[in-house]
Protein backbone atom coordinates (compact mmCIF):
# COMPACT_ATOMS: atom_id res chain seq x y z
CA UNK A 1 0.00 0.00 0.00
CA UNK A 2 1.42 3.39 -1.00
CA UNK A 3 0.78 6.70 0.78
CA UNK A 4 0.83 10.39 -0.10
CA UNK A 5 -0.46 13.57 1.56
CA UNK A 6 -2.47 16.78 1.14
CA UNK A 7 -4.22 19.51 3.13
CA UNK A 8 -7.74 18.86 1.80
CA UNK A 9 -8.99 15.65 0.27
CA UNK A 10 -12.33 15.70 -1.56
CA UNK A 11 -13.93 12.31 -2.18
CA UNK A 12 -16.18 12.53 -5.23
CA UNK A 13 -15.94 14.78 -8.30
CA UNK A 14 -19.66 15.42 -8.58
CA UNK A 15 -21.12 18.94 -8.72
CA UNK A 16 -20.18 19.92 -5.15
CA UNK A 17 -16.79 18.20 -5.34
CA UNK A 18 -15.83 20.12 -8.49
CA UNK A 19 -16.86 23.41 -6.88
CA UNK A 20 -14.77 22.64 -3.80
CA UNK A 21 -11.74 21.58 -5.84
CA UNK A 22 -11.79 24.96 -7.55
CA UNK A 23 -12.42 27.14 -4.51
CA UNK A 24 -10.08 25.36 -2.09
CA UNK A 25 -7.22 25.38 -4.61
CA UNK A 26 -7.54 29.11 -5.35
CA UNK A 27 -5.02 29.63 -2.55
CA UNK A 28 -1.74 28.14 -3.84
CA UNK A 29 -0.76 27.31 -0.26
CA UNK A 30 -3.52 24.68 -0.08
CA UNK A 31 -2.57 21.25 -1.39
CA UNK A 32 -5.83 19.71 -2.65
CA UNK A 33 -6.61 16.22 -3.97
CA UNK A 34 -9.87 15.36 -5.73
CA UNK A 35 -10.61 11.62 -5.74
CA UNK A 36 -13.13 10.21 -8.25
CA UNK A 37 -14.28 6.61 -8.69
CA UNK A 38 -15.11 7.06 -12.37
CA UNK A 39 -13.06 8.03 -15.43
CA UNK A 40 -12.30 11.40 -16.95
CA UNK A 41 -15.16 12.99 -18.89
CA UNK A 42 -13.70 12.10 -22.27
CA UNK A 43 -16.80 10.79 -24.05
CA UNK A 44 -18.36 13.26 -26.57
CA UNK A 45 -21.88 12.21 -25.56
CA UNK A 46 -21.23 13.82 -22.16
CA UNK A 47 -20.73 17.22 -23.76
CA UNK A 48 -23.47 17.18 -26.42
CA UNK A 49 -26.63 18.00 -24.43
CA UNK A 50 -29.21 15.72 -26.05
CA UNK A 51 -26.96 12.66 -26.21
CA UNK A 52 -27.01 12.28 -22.42
CA UNK A 53 -29.87 9.81 -23.06
CA UNK A 54 -27.34 7.35 -24.48
CA UNK A 55 -25.36 7.33 -21.22
CA UNK A 56 -28.28 6.33 -18.99
CA UNK A 57 -27.35 2.65 -19.33
CA UNK A 58 -23.57 2.92 -19.79
CA UNK A 59 -21.78 1.37 -16.81
CA UNK A 60 -18.54 3.12 -17.72
CA UNK A 61 -20.03 6.42 -16.53
CA UNK A 62 -22.99 5.32 -14.42
CA UNK A 63 -23.27 3.48 -11.10
CA UNK A 64 -26.51 1.86 -12.30
CA UNK A 65 -27.81 1.33 -8.79
CA UNK A 66 -30.98 -0.68 -8.14
CA UNK A 67 -33.33 -0.39 -5.20
CA UNK A 68 -34.55 -3.31 -3.16
CA UNK A 69 -38.04 -4.57 -4.10
CA UNK A 70 -40.43 -1.75 -3.20
CA UNK A 71 -43.50 -2.72 -1.11
CA UNK A 72 -45.41 0.35 -2.31
CA UNK A 73 -44.67 -0.43 -5.97
CA UNK A 74 -45.87 -4.03 -6.04
CA UNK A 75 -42.36 -5.33 -5.40
CA UNK A 76 -40.70 -3.56 -8.33
CA UNK A 77 -37.04 -2.57 -8.16
CA UNK A 78 -36.20 0.98 -9.27
CA UNK A 79 -33.17 1.90 -11.38
CA UNK A 80 -30.99 4.88 -10.48
CA UNK A 81 -28.85 6.63 -13.05
CA UNK A 82 -26.04 8.17 -11.00
CA UNK A 83 -22.90 9.59 -12.57
CA UNK A 84 -19.57 7.80 -12.09
CA UNK A 85 -17.31 10.21 -13.99
CA UNK A 86 -15.74 13.62 -13.52
CA UNK A 87 -18.75 15.86 -12.94
CA UNK A 88 -20.76 13.05 -11.37
CA UNK A 89 -24.43 13.11 -12.27
CA UNK A 90 -24.03 16.60 -13.77
CA UNK A 91 -22.19 14.88 -16.65
CA UNK A 92 -25.14 12.65 -17.57
CA UNK A 93 -28.20 14.56 -16.35
CA UNK A 94 -30.75 16.60 -18.30
CA UNK A 95 -28.95 19.91 -17.57
CA UNK A 96 -32.00 21.58 -16.00
CA UNK A 97 -31.22 24.50 -13.70
CA UNK A 98 -33.85 24.87 -10.97
CA UNK A 99 -33.11 26.49 -7.61
CA UNK A 100 -36.32 25.80 -5.73
CA UNK A 101 -38.61 28.17 -3.83
CA UNK A 102 -37.07 30.78 -1.52
CA UNK A 103 -39.42 29.73 1.28
CA UNK A 104 -38.08 26.18 1.41
CA UNK A 105 -34.60 27.42 2.40
CA UNK A 106 -36.21 29.56 5.09
CA UNK A 107 -37.85 26.38 6.34
CA UNK A 108 -34.44 24.67 6.48
CA UNK A 109 -33.24 27.47 8.77
CA UNK A 110 -36.40 27.38 10.89
CA UNK A 111 -35.85 23.66 11.47
CA UNK A 112 -32.27 24.00 12.70
CA UNK A 113 -30.04 24.75 9.70
CA UNK A 114 -28.76 28.11 10.94
CA UNK A 115 -27.31 30.21 8.15
CA UNK A 116 -29.26 28.51 5.35
CA UNK A 117 -32.12 30.99 4.97
CA UNK A 118 -32.74 32.08 1.37
CA UNK A 119 -31.12 35.44 2.07
CA UNK A 120 -28.03 33.49 3.21
CA UNK A 121 -27.80 31.17 0.20
CA UNK A 122 -28.84 33.62 -2.55
CA UNK A 123 -25.32 35.12 -2.81
CA UNK A 124 -23.96 31.62 -3.50
CA UNK A 125 -26.56 30.89 -6.15
CA UNK A 126 -25.56 34.16 -7.80
CA UNK A 127 -21.82 33.56 -7.39
CA UNK A 128 -22.08 30.17 -9.04
CA UNK A 129 -23.80 31.18 -12.26
CA UNK A 130 -23.28 33.04 -15.49
CA UNK A 131 -26.89 33.63 -16.49
CA UNK A 132 -27.55 34.43 -20.12
CA UNK A 133 -30.32 36.84 -19.09
CA UNK A 134 -27.93 39.09 -17.18
CA UNK A 135 -27.43 40.10 -13.56
CA UNK A 136 -30.08 41.47 -11.23
CA UNK A 137 -31.05 41.13 -7.57
CA UNK A 138 -31.63 37.38 -8.00
CA UNK A 139 -29.34 36.33 -10.84
CA UNK A 140 -25.58 36.24 -11.33
CA UNK A 141 -23.59 36.92 -14.50
CA UNK A 142 -19.94 36.38 -13.64
CA UNK A 143 -19.88 32.87 -12.13
CA UNK A 144 -18.41 29.73 -13.70
CA UNK A 145 -21.63 27.77 -14.31
CA UNK A 146 -23.33 28.56 -17.63
CA UNK A 147 -27.12 28.99 -17.38
CA UNK A 148 -28.92 29.55 -20.69
CA UNK A 149 -32.43 30.18 -21.85
CA UNK A 150 -33.79 27.96 -24.61
CA UNK A 151 -32.87 29.34 -28.03
CA UNK A 152 -35.72 27.99 -30.13
CA UNK A 153 -38.44 26.17 -28.15
CA UNK A 154 -40.36 23.42 -29.93
CA UNK A 155 -43.89 24.49 -30.99
CA UNK A 156 -45.32 21.84 -28.67
CA UNK A 157 -43.41 23.38 -25.77
CA UNK A 158 -44.94 26.77 -26.52
CA UNK A 159 -48.33 25.06 -26.75
CA UNK A 160 -47.78 23.63 -23.25
CA UNK A 161 -47.15 27.14 -21.92
CA UNK A 162 -50.29 28.34 -23.72
CA UNK A 163 -52.29 25.45 -22.26
CA UNK A 164 -51.21 26.28 -18.71
CA UNK A 165 -52.00 29.96 -19.22
CA UNK A 166 -55.46 29.03 -20.52
CA UNK A 167 -56.12 27.27 -17.20
CA UNK A 168 -55.30 30.44 -15.29
CA UNK A 169 -51.66 29.81 -14.34
CA UNK A 170 -49.30 32.78 -14.61
CA UNK A 171 -46.48 32.68 -17.16
CA UNK A 172 -43.20 33.04 -15.28
CA UNK A 173 -40.33 34.54 -17.26
CA UNK A 174 -37.74 33.31 -14.75
CA UNK A 175 -38.43 30.27 -12.56
CA UNK A 176 -35.20 31.02 -10.65
CA UNK A 177 -36.28 34.53 -9.74
CA UNK A 178 -38.40 35.71 -6.79
CA UNK A 179 -41.63 33.97 -7.85
CA UNK A 180 -42.10 30.27 -8.48
CA UNK A 181 -45.77 29.51 -9.11
CA UNK A 182 -46.81 29.20 -12.74
CA UNK A 183 -45.52 27.88 -16.04
CA UNK A 184 -42.03 28.56 -17.36
CA UNK A 185 -39.48 27.37 -19.87
CA UNK A 186 -36.64 25.42 -18.29
CA UNK A 187 -33.21 27.01 -18.10
CA UNK A 188 -30.24 24.81 -18.95
CA UNK A 189 -26.65 24.40 -17.83
CA UNK A 190 -25.30 25.10 -21.28
CA UNK A 191 -22.78 27.51 -22.72
CA UNK A 192 -23.07 27.88 -26.47
CA UNK A 193 -23.79 24.46 -27.89
CA UNK A 194 -22.18 22.36 -25.14
CA UNK A 195 -23.02 21.18 -21.62
CA UNK A 196 -21.67 23.59 -19.00
CA UNK A 197 -21.51 21.47 -15.86
CA UNK A 198 -19.13 21.94 -12.91
CA UNK A 199 -16.52 19.63 -14.45
CA UNK A 200 -16.40 21.78 -17.58
CA UNK A 201 -16.54 25.09 -15.72
CA UNK A 202 -15.22 24.99 -12.16
CA UNK A 203 -12.82 22.11 -12.69
CA UNK A 204 -11.55 23.26 -16.07
CA UNK A 205 -10.52 26.57 -14.50
CA UNK A 206 -8.63 24.78 -11.75
CA UNK A 207 -7.02 21.85 -13.57
CA UNK A 208 -3.81 23.69 -14.43
CA UNK A 209 -3.09 24.66 -10.84
CA UNK A 210 -0.05 22.88 -9.48
CA UNK A 211 -1.62 22.57 -6.02
CA UNK A 212 -4.63 20.55 -7.30
CA UNK A 213 -4.33 16.88 -8.16
CA UNK A 214 -7.21 14.94 -9.70
CA UNK A 215 -7.11 11.17 -9.22
CA UNK A 216 -9.71 9.36 -11.32
CA UNK A 217 -10.79 5.70 -11.47
CA UNK A 218 -10.10 5.41 -7.74
CA UNK A 219 -12.75 4.04 -5.38
CA UNK A 220 -12.80 5.26 -1.77
CA UNK A 221 -12.74 2.43 0.73
CA UNK A 222 -13.01 4.41 3.98
CA UNK A 223 -11.76 7.26 6.13
CA UNK A 224 -9.24 6.57 8.89
CA UNK A 225 -9.32 8.31 12.28
CA UNK A 226 -6.71 9.10 14.90
CA UNK A 227 -8.00 10.19 18.32
CA UNK A 228 -11.36 11.09 16.81
CA UNK A 229 -9.97 13.10 13.91
CA UNK A 230 -10.05 12.14 10.22
CA UNK A 231 -6.43 11.65 9.25
CA UNK A 232 -6.36 9.60 6.04
CA UNK A 233 -8.39 8.03 3.24
CA UNK A 234 -7.90 4.56 1.81
CA UNK A 235 -8.88 3.88 -1.80
CA UNK A 236 -8.59 1.25 -4.52
CA UNK A 237 -6.91 2.02 -7.83
CA UNK A 238 -6.49 -0.68 -10.46
CA UNK A 239 -6.68 -3.39 -7.81
CA UNK A 240 -4.11 -1.82 -5.51
CA UNK A 241 -4.96 -0.26 -2.15
CA UNK A 242 -3.53 3.22 -1.61
CA UNK A 243 -3.64 5.70 1.24
CA UNK A 244 -3.65 9.50 1.39
CA UNK A 245 -2.72 11.28 4.61
CA UNK A 246 -4.79 14.42 5.19
CA UNK A 247 -3.46 17.31 7.25
CA UNK A 248 -6.59 19.48 7.55
CA UNK A 249 -9.94 18.10 6.37
CA UNK A 250 -11.53 15.23 4.49
CA UNK A 251 -14.65 16.24 2.55
CA UNK A 252 -17.04 13.52 1.42
CA UNK A 253 -18.88 14.57 -1.76
CA UNK A 254 -19.91 11.17 -3.10
CA UNK A 255 -23.63 11.87 -3.40
CA UNK A 256 -26.80 10.81 -1.63
CA UNK A 257 -26.03 7.10 -2.10
CA UNK A 258 -22.24 7.16 -1.96
CA UNK A 259 -21.63 9.50 0.98
CA UNK A 260 -23.56 7.57 3.68
CA UNK A 261 -21.96 4.36 2.41
CA UNK A 262 -18.47 5.81 2.91
CA UNK A 263 -19.37 7.04 6.40
CA UNK A 264 -20.73 3.61 7.32
CA UNK A 265 -17.64 1.80 5.99
CA UNK A 266 -15.57 4.24 8.06
CA UNK A 267 -17.37 3.31 11.28
CA UNK A 268 -19.91 6.14 11.45
CA UNK A 269 -23.45 4.78 11.45
CA UNK A 270 -25.83 2.65 13.46
CA UNK A 271 -23.53 0.72 15.82
CA UNK A 272 -25.57 -2.48 15.73
CA UNK A 273 -25.47 -2.61 11.92
CA UNK A 274 -21.75 -1.85 11.76
CA UNK A 275 -20.86 -4.46 14.36
CA UNK A 276 -22.86 -7.07 12.47
CA UNK A 277 -20.67 -6.33 9.44
CA UNK A 278 -17.44 -6.48 11.43
CA UNK A 279 -16.76 -2.74 11.11
CA UNK A 280 -15.20 -1.06 14.18
CA UNK A 281 -17.52 1.68 15.45
CA UNK A 282 -16.04 5.18 15.46
CA UNK A 283 -19.34 6.84 16.31
CA UNK A 284 -22.81 5.43 16.85
CA UNK A 285 -24.85 7.56 14.41
CA UNK A 286 -28.14 5.84 13.48
CA UNK A 287 -29.21 8.80 11.29
CA UNK A 288 -26.52 8.06 8.68
CA UNK A 289 -28.28 6.72 5.60
CA UNK A 290 -31.76 7.55 6.89
CA UNK A 291 -34.08 10.31 5.58
CA UNK A 292 -33.68 9.28 1.91
CA UNK A 293 -36.02 11.36 -0.25
CA UNK A 294 -36.66 11.49 -3.98
CA UNK A 295 -39.22 12.77 -6.44
CA UNK A 296 -41.32 9.87 -7.72
CA UNK A 297 -41.98 10.54 -11.41
CA UNK A 298 -45.01 9.28 -13.33
CA UNK A 299 -45.65 10.15 -16.98
CA UNK A 300 -48.73 10.84 -19.06
CA UNK A 301 -48.14 10.56 -22.82
CA UNK A 302 -50.08 11.34 -26.00
CA UNK A 303 -49.52 10.26 -29.57
CA UNK A 304 -48.90 13.34 -31.74
CA UNK A 305 -50.10 14.18 -35.24
CA UNK A 306 -49.31 16.99 -37.64
CA UNK A 307 -45.89 17.93 -36.28
CA UNK A 308 -42.50 16.25 -35.85
CA UNK A 309 -41.45 15.45 -32.27
CA UNK A 310 -38.11 14.48 -30.77
CA UNK A 311 -38.92 10.83 -31.48
CA UNK A 312 -38.66 11.12 -35.28
CA UNK A 313 -35.97 13.79 -35.27
CA UNK A 314 -33.50 11.43 -33.62
CA UNK A 315 -33.67 8.85 -36.42
CA UNK A 316 -32.58 8.43 -40.02
CA UNK A 317 -31.82 11.38 -42.28
CA UNK A 318 -33.37 13.84 -39.85
CA UNK A 319 -30.89 12.79 -37.19
CA UNK A 320 -28.04 13.32 -39.66
CA UNK A 321 -29.36 16.80 -40.42
CA UNK A 322 -29.59 17.58 -36.70
CA UNK A 323 -25.98 16.48 -36.25
CA UNK A 324 -24.90 18.77 -39.08
CA UNK A 325 -26.92 21.67 -37.68
CA UNK A 326 -25.25 21.18 -34.30
CA UNK A 327 -21.75 20.90 -35.76
CA UNK A 328 -22.01 23.87 -38.12
CA UNK A 329 -24.35 26.29 -36.34
CA UNK A 330 -24.49 25.02 -32.76
CA UNK A 331 -28.27 24.89 -32.92
CA UNK A 332 -31.12 22.44 -33.04
CA UNK A 333 -32.28 19.36 -31.19
CA UNK A 334 -28.83 18.32 -29.94
CA UNK A 335 -28.54 21.47 -27.80
CA UNK A 336 -31.67 20.54 -25.80
CA UNK A 337 -31.75 19.09 -22.30
CA UNK A 338 -34.15 16.54 -20.86
CA UNK A 339 -37.13 18.82 -20.20
CA UNK A 340 -38.55 21.81 -22.02
CA UNK A 341 -41.08 23.50 -19.73
CA UNK A 342 -42.50 23.13 -16.25
CA UNK A 343 -45.62 24.00 -14.31
CA UNK A 344 -45.30 24.60 -10.57
CA UNK A 345 -48.66 24.59 -8.81
CA UNK A 346 -50.60 23.66 -5.67
CA UNK A 347 -51.71 20.04 -5.77
CA UNK A 348 -54.83 20.80 -3.73
CA UNK A 349 -56.69 24.07 -3.01
CA UNK A 350 -55.70 23.93 0.66
CA UNK A 351 -51.99 23.45 -0.06
CA UNK A 352 -49.90 26.01 1.83
CA UNK A 353 -47.08 25.73 -0.73
CA UNK A 354 -46.61 25.32 -4.44
CA UNK A 355 -46.13 21.60 -3.91
CA UNK A 356 -46.41 19.82 -7.26
CA UNK A 357 -44.54 19.95 -10.56
CA UNK A 358 -45.25 18.96 -14.13
CA UNK A 359 -42.42 18.67 -16.64
CA UNK A 360 -43.13 18.74 -20.39
CA UNK A 361 -41.12 17.16 -23.20
CA UNK A 362 -41.99 17.24 -26.94
CA UNK A 363 -41.22 13.53 -27.14
CA UNK A 364 -42.27 10.26 -25.53
CA UNK A 365 -40.41 7.35 -23.99
CA UNK A 366 -40.51 3.62 -24.60
CA UNK A 367 -38.35 3.19 -21.47
CA UNK A 368 -36.25 5.52 -19.31
CA UNK A 369 -33.71 7.12 -21.64
CA UNK A 370 -35.23 5.55 -24.79
CA UNK A 371 -37.51 7.52 -27.13
CA UNK A 372 -40.44 5.86 -28.87
CA UNK A 373 -40.44 5.44 -32.64
CA UNK A 374 -43.88 7.00 -33.13
CA UNK A 375 -44.40 10.76 -32.54
CA UNK A 376 -45.39 11.65 -29.00
CA UNK A 377 -45.38 14.20 -26.18
CA UNK A 378 -45.09 13.65 -22.45
CA UNK A 379 -45.91 15.34 -19.17
CA UNK A 380 -44.12 13.99 -16.11
CA UNK A 381 -45.71 14.62 -12.70
CA UNK A 382 -44.49 14.45 -9.12
CA UNK A 383 -45.17 15.91 -5.65
CA UNK A 384 -42.47 18.48 -4.91
CA UNK A 385 -42.12 17.69 -1.20
CA UNK A 386 -42.43 13.93 -0.69
CA UNK A 387 -43.34 12.85 2.82
CA UNK A 388 -42.17 9.26 2.25
CA UNK A 389 -38.75 8.46 3.70
CA UNK A 390 -36.30 5.71 2.84
CA UNK A 391 -32.76 4.65 3.69
CA UNK A 392 -29.36 3.65 2.28
CA UNK A 393 -27.25 1.04 4.11
CA UNK A 394 -24.13 -0.88 3.16
CA UNK A 395 -24.27 -4.67 2.90
CA UNK A 396 -20.59 -5.20 3.75
CA UNK A 397 -17.30 -3.37 4.21
CA UNK A 398 -16.47 -4.01 0.54
CA UNK A 399 -16.67 -0.71 -1.42
CA UNK A 400 -17.31 -2.66 -4.62
CA UNK A 401 -20.60 -4.05 -3.30
CA UNK A 402 -23.56 -1.73 -4.02
CA UNK A 403 -25.47 -0.57 -0.93
CA UNK A 404 -29.01 -1.52 -0.06
CA UNK A 405 -31.40 1.23 -1.22
CA UNK A 406 -34.95 1.36 0.13
CA UNK A 407 -36.71 4.56 -1.00
CA UNK A 408 -40.19 3.59 0.29
CA UNK A 409 -41.97 5.48 -2.48
CA UNK A 410 -45.65 6.28 -1.86
CA UNK A 411 -45.49 4.94 1.69
CA UNK A 412 -47.12 8.15 2.91
CA UNK A 413 -50.76 8.78 2.00
CA UNK A 414 -50.10 12.48 1.36
CA UNK A 415 -47.73 11.52 -1.47
CA UNK A 416 -50.40 9.28 -2.94
CA UNK A 417 -53.03 12.04 -2.89
CA UNK A 418 -50.72 14.70 -4.30
CA UNK A 419 -49.46 12.42 -7.06
CA UNK A 420 -52.99 11.59 -8.19
CA UNK A 421 -53.82 15.32 -8.20
CA UNK A 422 -50.70 16.10 -10.24
CA UNK A 423 -51.50 13.39 -12.79
CA UNK A 424 -55.04 14.73 -13.15
CA UNK A 425 -53.59 18.18 -13.84
CA UNK A 426 -51.25 16.67 -16.45
CA UNK A 427 -54.27 15.21 -18.21
CA UNK A 428 -56.13 18.53 -18.08
CA UNK A 429 -53.23 20.26 -19.78
CA UNK A 430 -52.82 17.64 -22.50
CA UNK A 431 -56.56 17.73 -23.18
CA UNK A 432 -56.71 21.54 -23.36
CA UNK A 433 -57.25 23.11 -26.82
CA UNK A 434 -53.67 24.35 -27.19
CA UNK A 435 -52.27 20.79 -27.05
CA UNK A 436 -55.33 18.76 -28.07
CA UNK A 437 -55.06 20.00 -31.66
CA UNK A 438 -51.78 18.09 -31.94
CA UNK A 439 -52.99 15.02 -30.06
CA UNK A 440 -54.02 11.70 -31.55
CA UNK A 441 -55.05 10.36 -28.15
CA UNK A 442 -53.61 9.38 -24.79
CA UNK A 443 -51.31 6.36 -24.88
CA UNK A 444 -50.14 6.31 -21.25
CA UNK A 445 -51.92 5.46 -18.99
CA UNK A 446 -54.87 5.28 -21.41
CA UNK A 447 -58.56 6.09 -21.15
CA UNK A 448 -59.28 2.90 -19.18
CA UNK A 449 -57.47 4.43 -16.17
CA UNK A 450 -59.85 6.95 -14.61
CA UNK A 451 -60.60 6.58 -10.89
CA UNK A 452 -58.17 7.66 -8.17
CA UNK A 453 -57.51 4.02 -7.31
CA UNK A 454 -56.80 3.18 -10.96
CA UNK A 455 -54.46 6.16 -11.33
CA UNK A 456 -52.59 5.19 -8.18
CA UNK A 457 -52.32 1.57 -9.31
CA UNK A 458 -50.89 2.79 -12.64
CA UNK A 459 -48.36 4.95 -10.78
CA UNK A 460 -47.25 1.98 -8.67
CA UNK A 461 -46.75 -0.05 -11.86
CA UNK A 462 -44.98 2.54 -14.05
CA UNK A 463 -43.48 5.26 -11.84
CA UNK A 464 -39.71 5.81 -11.80
CA UNK A 465 -37.14 7.82 -9.87
CA UNK A 466 -36.97 11.52 -10.65
CA UNK A 467 -33.23 11.16 -9.84
CA UNK A 468 -33.34 13.97 -7.28
CA UNK A 469 -32.15 11.93 -4.30
CA UNK A 470 -31.29 13.88 -1.14
CA UNK A 471 -31.18 13.69 2.62
CA UNK A 472 -29.12 10.69 3.76
CA UNK A 473 -26.54 12.81 5.65
CA UNK A 474 -29.01 15.51 6.64
CA UNK A 475 -27.86 18.66 8.39
CA UNK A 476 -29.57 20.16 11.42
CA UNK A 477 -29.19 20.85 15.11
CA UNK A 478 -30.91 17.77 16.52
CA UNK A 479 -29.90 14.17 17.23
CA UNK A 480 -31.37 13.02 13.92
CA UNK A 481 -28.89 15.13 11.93
CA UNK A 482 -25.66 13.71 10.57
CA UNK A 483 -23.87 17.03 10.02
CA UNK A 484 -24.23 20.40 11.70
CA UNK A 485 -25.09 23.62 9.88
CA UNK A 486 -21.43 23.99 8.88
CA UNK A 487 -21.58 20.50 7.35
CA UNK A 488 -19.21 18.98 9.92
CA UNK A 489 -19.91 15.34 10.74
CA UNK A 490 -21.10 15.19 14.32
CA UNK A 491 -18.92 13.47 16.91
CA UNK A 492 -15.64 13.57 14.96
CA UNK A 493 -13.22 16.23 13.76
CA UNK A 494 -11.76 17.07 10.36
CA UNK A 495 -14.61 15.50 8.38
CA UNK A 496 -17.44 17.13 6.41
CA UNK A 497 -20.07 16.02 3.95
CA UNK A 498 -20.79 18.42 1.08
CA UNK A 499 -23.34 17.29 -1.50
CA UNK A 500 -27.08 16.69 -1.96
CA UNK A 501 -27.12 14.21 0.92
CA UNK A 502 -26.96 17.06 3.46
CA UNK A 503 -30.24 18.62 2.30
CA UNK A 504 -32.78 18.02 5.06
CA UNK A 505 -35.63 17.97 2.53
CA UNK A 506 -36.17 17.76 -1.23
CA UNK A 507 -35.99 21.06 -3.07
CA UNK A 508 -38.98 21.75 -5.29
CA UNK A 509 -37.25 20.90 -8.53
CA UNK A 510 -34.04 19.36 -9.78
CA UNK A 511 -31.32 18.97 -7.17
CA UNK A 512 -28.30 20.07 -9.23
CA UNK A 513 -28.41 23.85 -8.75
CA UNK A 514 -28.88 23.59 -4.95
CA UNK A 515 -25.96 21.14 -4.81
CA UNK A 516 -23.69 23.62 -6.58
CA UNK A 517 -24.82 26.30 -4.14
CA UNK A 518 -23.98 23.99 -1.22
CA UNK A 519 -20.49 23.51 -2.65
CA UNK A 520 -19.97 27.26 -2.89
CA UNK A 521 -21.18 27.92 0.65
CA UNK A 522 -19.17 25.02 2.06
CA UNK A 523 -15.98 26.37 0.50
CA UNK A 524 -16.37 29.61 2.45
CA UNK A 525 -17.08 27.63 5.63
CA UNK A 526 -13.99 25.47 5.19
CA UNK A 527 -11.79 28.48 4.44
CA UNK A 528 -13.44 30.32 7.36
CA UNK A 529 -14.60 33.17 5.18
CA UNK A 530 -18.07 32.78 6.70
Residue extents of the structural domains in the chain: 2-526
Write down how long the chain is. 530
Q: Say which residue, 151 or 409, is predicted with more confidence.
A: 409
Known catalytic membership, residue 440: no
pTM of the complete model: 0.96
161 is in an annotated binding site: no
User: In this structure, is the dihedral angle defined by the CA atoms of residues 151, 155, 160 and 165, taken in order, positive or negative?
Assistant: positive
pLDDT value of position 97: 96
Of 329, 331, 311, the residue nearest 319 (C-alpha): 311
User: In this structure, is the dihedral angle defined by the CA atoms of residues 53, 57, 58 and 64, taken in order, positive or negative?
Assistant: positive
Confidence of residue 318 (pLDDT cuts 50, 70, 90): confident
pLDDT value of position 317: 67
pLDDT in tens, 29-82: 999 999 999 999 999 888 988 887 788 888 999 999 999 999 999 999 999 999
pLDDT value of position 337: 75
Of 157, 147, 153, the residue nearest 187 (C-alpha): 147
Return the bridge partners of 62, or none: 83
Mean pLDDT of the chain: 94
Of 202, 211, 161, 155, the residue nearest 183 (C-alpha): 161
Res 2 pLDDT > 90: no
pLDDT in tens, 352-361: 889 999 999 9
pLDDT value of position 309: 87
Res 316 pLDDT > 90: no
pLDDT in tens, 35-45: 999 999 999 88
Cα 180 from Cα 174, distance rounded (Å):
8
Write out the H or E segment, with its range, that includes residue 524.
helix 512-526
Res 334 pLDDT > 80: no
Contact residues for 357 (Cβ-Cβ < 8 A; gap 6+)? 295, 342, 343, 344, 345, 381, 382, 384, 422, 508, 509
Q: How many CB atoms lie within 10 A of CB 107?
A: 17
| Fold held by 2-526 | FAD/NAD(P)-binding domain (3.50.50)
pLDDT value of position 183: 97
pLDDT value of position 521: 98
* Catalytic-role residue among 43, 47, 295, 468: 468
Res 293 pLDDT > 90: yes
pLDDT value of position 1: 40
pLDDT value of position 3: 58
pLDDT in tens, 486-502: 999 999 999 999 999 99
Mean pLDDT on 417-433: 98
What percentage of the chain carries pLDDT values higher than 70?
98
Res 530 pLDDT > 60: no
Amino acid sequence: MTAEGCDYLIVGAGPAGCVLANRLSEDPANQVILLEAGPRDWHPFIHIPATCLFLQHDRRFNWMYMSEPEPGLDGRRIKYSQGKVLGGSSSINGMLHVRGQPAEYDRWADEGCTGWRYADVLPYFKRSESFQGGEDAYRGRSGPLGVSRQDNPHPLTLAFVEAAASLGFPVNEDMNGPRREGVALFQQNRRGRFRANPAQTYLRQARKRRNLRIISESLCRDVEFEQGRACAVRYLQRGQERRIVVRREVVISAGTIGSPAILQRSGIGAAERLQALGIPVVRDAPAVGQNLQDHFLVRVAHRVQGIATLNERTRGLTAAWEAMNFAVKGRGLLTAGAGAAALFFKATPDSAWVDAQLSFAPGSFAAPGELEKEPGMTVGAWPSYPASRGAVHIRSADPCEPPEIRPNYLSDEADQRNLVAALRMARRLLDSPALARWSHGETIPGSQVESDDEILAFAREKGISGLHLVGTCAMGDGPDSVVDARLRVRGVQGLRVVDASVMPACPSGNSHAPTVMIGEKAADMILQRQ
